[in-house]
Structure 1
Amino acid sequence: MTTAHDFDFLHGDWTISNRRREDYLDPSSGWQEFQATHRCWALFDGAANVDEMDCPSQGFKGATLRLFDPAAKEWSLYWSSSRTGTLEPPVRGSFGDDGRGVFEGDDSYAGTPVRVRFLWQRLTPTSARWEQAFRTGGKATEGTEGGEGGWLTNWIMDFTRA
């Protein structure tokens, strides 16, 4: 059941091993790998949080604002990069009984409308995994890894407690 404390596991300092496709929509695209540092802190007694990720080898920082809606029992996650200085459209969702968080929303990438999915899984006190996937046109994409509903995973972050 989703609560205002679902993201408590993320508070504090982390190191992140990133694996990101060079082209988010191309299943044959190569992967970049890079390290980052991350810090997350709570707001609103845990019903919100903010984080900052520093990717010095990539020349940017990223930030996420997460807000819990108690009436809807749903989280809204907003991402921004130091490259743009704007908030991306939110993804919304919740954590299931299996401990996996699934958050989806509409956005665009390089002018192409996409459905975005964030997955939070493998959550422990010292590790976590975040994945981003895109789906175009609401249909399965040829060559998609795993074939799960046409989603193409394009960014994976493995978190380790600092």
Structure 2
Amino acid sequence: MALELMISAPTDFDFVIGDWFVTHRRLKERLASCNEWVEFDGKMSTKKILGGFGNIEDNLLQLPGEDVRAIALRSYDQNTRKWSIWWLDGRFPGQIDVPVIGSFVDGVGTFFANDRFQEIPITVRFVWRQIGEDLLHWDQAFSVDAGESWETNWTMAFRRQS
């Protein structure tokens, strides 16, 4: 009888599991030397899937003038020990973003993808941090020079719902 090796699910993203209030800050214009930020509220709820080797994040973004639903889907590759993160925006239901791929080092998750923004080739970077038991931070940045410089264009501050 062969022994089966049981691999434990990763715990990297356990800190996001649950229900959260979100304060979004997004640059009014990206890659345009803009310094004007738009701030809006939202909610996020995340649960494990794939036996803990993934999770799904359901978002309500309360943009000025409209509410938008979106999801983030994350899955872990046991062979590479990396996470992939996809984004699906309810305004564009037939288009899922290129996944950002990365891992956690010392509790900070950094993820990258090559993509395009308004026909400009870019590198996308996501950074996830747990600030405290009930506080999280995420930011997104774009680079047009292969990571030599970055424009942070969207941040999210999360507060756990009680």
Q: TM-score range by the shorter chain?
A: 0.7 to 0.9
TM-score normalized by the length of structure 1: 0.87
- 1:15-26 correspondence runs (5 A): 15-26=21-32
**Identical counterparts, % of pairs:** 32
Partner Cα distance (1:25, 1:17) in 2: 22
- 1:60-139 correspondence runs (5 A): 60-85=68-93, 86-97=95-106, 99-138=107-146
TM-score normalized by the length of structure 2: 0.87
Preserved contact between residue 113 and residue 137 of structure 1 (Cα < 8 Å): no
Judging by fraction of residues, say which structure has more strand. 2
Letter in structure 1 aligned against 2:151: L
Alignment partner, residue 60 of structure 2: 54
Q: CA RMSD in A?
A: 1.4
Q: 2:16 aligns with which of 10, 22, 25?
A: 10
Aligned length, in residue pairs? 150
Say which structure, 1 or 2, has more relative contact order (CA 8 Å, 6+ apart).
Answer: 1
Partner Cα distance (1:56, 1:152) in 2: 23
The structure 1 segments of at least 4 consecutive aligned residues displaced by more than 4 Å after TM superposition are none
Preserved contact between residue 15 and residue 130 of structure 2 (Cα < 8 Å): no
Q: Higher Cα Rg: structure 1 or 2?
A: 2
Partner Cα distance (1:124, 1:154) in 2: 23
In structure 2, list runs of 5 or more residues that go unmatched. 1-8
In structure 1, list runs of 5 or more residues that go unmatched. 140-148
Preserved contact between residue 111 and residue 127 of structure 2 (Cα < 8 Å): yes
Preserved contact between residue 101 and residue 119 of structure 1 (Cα < 8 Å): yes
Partner Cα distance (1:114, 1:56) in 2: 27
